[in-house]
Amino acid sequence: MFFTKLRLSGFKSFVDPTELLIKEGLTGVVGPNGCGKSNLLEALRWVMGENRPTAMRGGGMEDVIFAGAATRPARNHAEVALLIDNHERLAPAGFNEEDQLEIVRRITRDVGSAYKVNTKDVRARDVQMLFADASTGAQSPALVRQGQISELINAKPKNRRRVLEEAAGISGLYQRRHEAELK
Ligand code: ATP
Ligand code: MG
């Protein structure tokens, strides 16, 4: 499984529909300060189910919607789609019927977020679990924020263990156990 494309519309500074092709190997994003490089990474986090506004550098989840500029009005929706190559059929059970997975998250002001996988409505939890089982996701250590390396070095052993658990591919199991304990 690998990411092939990220599509954004109305998300933060990406007001017009924008596509980022993610090819095999290394992809670099370069540009001047404030051009939206970090916003792209946040879009990736967000479509995988990130629900903490602070992780998106915002005060509330609706802050991801294009807020308007001098010459353009604000939007009411933001949408991010993530395309995943699944020709090797390694996607977790329940999502493994097709060669390509398209995960879409859309947020509407005063309504909230809705998710789709291959055009079918799903819950946030389904998307979060899909990525946890695939050993990635919004909180995966595969996504490294600025300052995160030094945080890891100074982390308590318990927090550092989470990184190892993710590497071992068992974070989906932990998430399920946590939910079972809450019930
Ligand atoms: P740097 O090189 O400084 O790290 P960057 O390329 O990572 O910059 P970002 O932080 O991704 O830049 O982009 C910041 C820009 O996104 C700012 O201009 C900010 O105004 C804009 N922005 C963030 N949220 C919104 C929003 N909801 N609506 C419109 N613009 C937004
Ligand atoms: Mg940045």
Q: What DSSP element (H or E) covers 2?
A: strand 2-9
Query: d(Cα 135, Cα 32) in Å, to the nearest integer?
Result: 32
Spell out the residues 6+ positions from residue 123 whose beta carbon is closer than 8 angstroms to its own: 115
Q: How far is the CA of 104 from the centre of ligand 1 (A)?
A: 22
Q: Is the CB of 38 under 6 A from ligand 1?
A: yes
**pLDDT per residue as tens digits for the range 82-141:** 999 999 998 888 888 899 999 999 999 999 999 999 999 999 999 998 888 777 777 776
Please state the pTM of the whole predicted model. 0.85
* Distance set, CA 67 to CA 9, 10, 17, 78 (Å): 13, 9, 15, 10
Is 10 marked as binding a ligand? no
Q: Assess: ipTM above 0.90.
A: yes
pLDDT band at 16 (very low <50, low <70, confident <90, very high): very high
pLDDT number for residue 20: 96
Q: Whose CA is nearest to atom 2 of ligand 1?
A: 33
Q: Which atom of ligand 1 is nearest to the CA of 146?
A: 4
Residue of 13, 54, 61 with the most ligand 1 atoms within 8 Å of its CB, for mutation: 13
CB 12 within 8 A of CB 64: yes
177 pLDDT band (50/70/90 cuts)? confident
Residue 67 CB–ligand 1 contact under 6 Å: yes
Three-state secondary structure of 67-117: CCECCECCCCEEEEEEEEECCCCCCCCCCCCCCEEEEEEEEECCCEEEEEE
Q: Is the pLDDT of residue 147 over 90?
A: no
Is there an atom of ligand 1 within 6 Å of 13 CB? yes
Residues with CB under 5 A from ligand 2 (ion): 37-38
36 among annotated binding-site residues: yes
Q: Determine the Cα–Cα distance for residues 31 and 90; give it in Å rounded to an integer.
A: 35
Closest residue by Cα to atom 24, ligand 1, is 12
* Residues contacting 114, CB < 8 A, separation 6+: 105, 106, 107, 108, 121
Report DSSP state, residue 165: H
Which of 12, 18, 37 for mutating ligand 1's site (highest number of atoms within 8 Å of CB)? 12
Give the domains, in start order, of the chain with CATH numbers: 2-182 (3.40.50.300)
- For residue 13, how far is its CA from the centre of ligand 2 (angstroms)? 12
